[in-house]
């Protein structure tokens, strides 16, 4: 997603590591879980929002922000039930399970939002009138 290049690449690496560990540690009766948390009402999110690019704000504006306590409860429930992928929010859960099917549609939608924002910015710059300098 636009604005999340470092986060996305590191999360992908963690996911692949967890998938490998899951298979290797299963015979030792050790369970592995990976969490895909939604935007969570924390000081970290408040700080992130101060520097988040406008494109990312536009894309994430429809996402629900969950309370930290609720996310923590769902994570504990997932660990207790020995779930591998823990997704404390329906939207993330569906995206996790159906990613390969929906990825092209989601990418098309997000790209459209970014393109629209960029067109609006260009239009605003073009429509600004400059005052003559004496």
Q: Quick check: is 134 in a domain?
A: no
Range of the domain at 30: 5-127
**CATH number, domain with residue 85:** 3.40.50.720
Structural domains in the chain (count):
1
User: What is the pTM assigned to this prediction?
Assistant: 0.67
DSSP 67: E
pLDDT tens track for 50-94: 999 999 888 888 888 999 999 999 999 999 999 998 988 776 676
pLDDT at 99: 67
The whole-angstrom separation of Cα 118 and Cα 9 is 25
DSSP 111: H
Q: Quick check: is 110 in a domain?
A: yes
The whole-angstrom separation of Cα 123 and Cα 120 is 5
Tokens of 64: 């629900």
Q: Quick check: is 132 in a domain?
A: no
Q: In this model, does residue 106 exceed pLDDT 80?
A: no
Q: Quick check: is 133 in a domain?
A: no
């Amino acid at each position: 997603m636009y604005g999340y290049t470092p986060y996305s690449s590191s999360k992908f690496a963690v996911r692949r590591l967890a998938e490998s560990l899951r298979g290797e540690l299963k015979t030792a009766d050790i369970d592995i879980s990976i969490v895909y948390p939604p935007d969570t009402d924390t000081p970290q999110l408040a700080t992130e929002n101060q520097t988040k690019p406008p494109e990312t704000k536009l894309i994430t504006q429809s996402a629900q922000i969950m309370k930290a306590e609720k996310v923590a409860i769902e994570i504990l429930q997932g660990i207790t039930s020995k779930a591998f992928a823990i997704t404390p929010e329906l939207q993330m859960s569906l995206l996790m399970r159906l990613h390969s099917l929906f990825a092209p549609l989601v990418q098309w939608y997000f790209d459209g939002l970014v393109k629209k924002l960029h067109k609006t910015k260009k239009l605003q710059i073009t429509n600004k009138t400059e005052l003559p300098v004496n």
